[in-house]
Amino acid sequence: MKIAVFGSSGFIGSALIARSHALGHDSIAYSRRGRPASGAVARQWSLGEIPDLDPCENADGAVHLAHDFDGEAGADRTFRGTLKLIDALRQRGVRRQVFVSSFSAGEHHQSRYGRVKHELEKVLGESEDVWIVRPGLVIGDGGLFGRIAKIARASPVIPLPDGGKGEVYCIDLAELCDLFLRVLQLGPASRVLNLFEPRPRALRDLVLEVAARNRPRLIMNVPSSLALRILDLSERLAIPLPVTSDNLRGFLANQRADHRSSIGELST
């Protein structure tokens, strides 16, 4: 295939470019720095812009991974920029487009991230050439899981909201990349696909599994309401922490979600 990846320098995007190259697909990598990666054609691009789309002419597919986390301005840029780009690619004859949403998207959303993804889902749900995919927590050496794993491996005491009793749906990075490519190849009947393991894991179990490679760890039970106050305060004081208040709000809201895995649809 010939595919374009927007947000190609991130944790998932860079892995997708590498996997596409390994399988012999032609890739165009769009990112803010426009750095070459894994044999792909590299182009500089930021959300809100219409980049040089000449390499995408009649491409088989595009994957939209980019998201601007700069508060409400970034949320608006993500919403408008994503829709503008999808329409521009459609005019270039791109056959299939994958919009990467989130398990946090839905009527249950409480985070800014989940809200923007949900708003985009509502608009894109009517598009016959766009597939909406919702990954769970992506397991790999990067992203939110990578930051959590770093704490688990380094600290003898791991603070978790409500002791880590909340559940999280996960997906391995390598499997996720293969599923993205499969969606582009097959164009499945379902336009909305939940890409995560069928059964959730308790956050506590997931963290202890990561930490077990080193010495034993102690879980500190932090009430989620207190954890949110701490994260909000750290952000007002510009103190960087591995997890944001938006991450935690999304995680807490996800405990009320009723998504079911779609992986079985792509394996048949």
Evaluate whether residue 125 is within a structural domain: yes
Residue 265: the pLDDT is 86
Task: List the CATH number of the domain containing 191.
Answer: 3.40.50.720
Q: Which helix (H) or strand (E) holds 192?
A: strand 192-195
Residue 159 φ/ψ, nearest 5 degrees: -75, 130
How far apart (Å, rounded) are the C-alpha atoms in residues 197 and 172?
9
Evaluate whether residue 224 is within a structural domain: no
The model carries a pTM of 0.92
Residue 213: the pLDDT is 65
Evaluate whether residue 250 is within a structural domain: no
Number of domains within the chain: 1
Residue 222: the pLDDT is 95
Residue 134: the pLDDT is 95
Evaluate whether residue 165 is within a structural domain: no
How far apart (Å, rounded) are the C-alpha atoms in residues 1 and 24?
8
- Domain range for 12 is 2-137+172-196+258-266
Residues of the chain with pLDDT under 70: 36, 213-216, 268
Evaluate whether residue 24 is within a structural domain: yes
Residue 210: the pLDDT is 87
Evaluate whether residue 111 is within a structural domain: yes
Evaluate whether residue 204 is within a structural domain: no
Residue 214: the pLDDT is 60
Evaluate whether residue 146 is within a structural domain: no
Residue 103: the pLDDT is 87
How far apart (Å, rounded) are the C-alpha atoms in residues 142 and 158?
19
Question: Residue 21 CA to chain centroid, in angstroms?
Answer: 21
Residue 107 one-letter amino acid: E
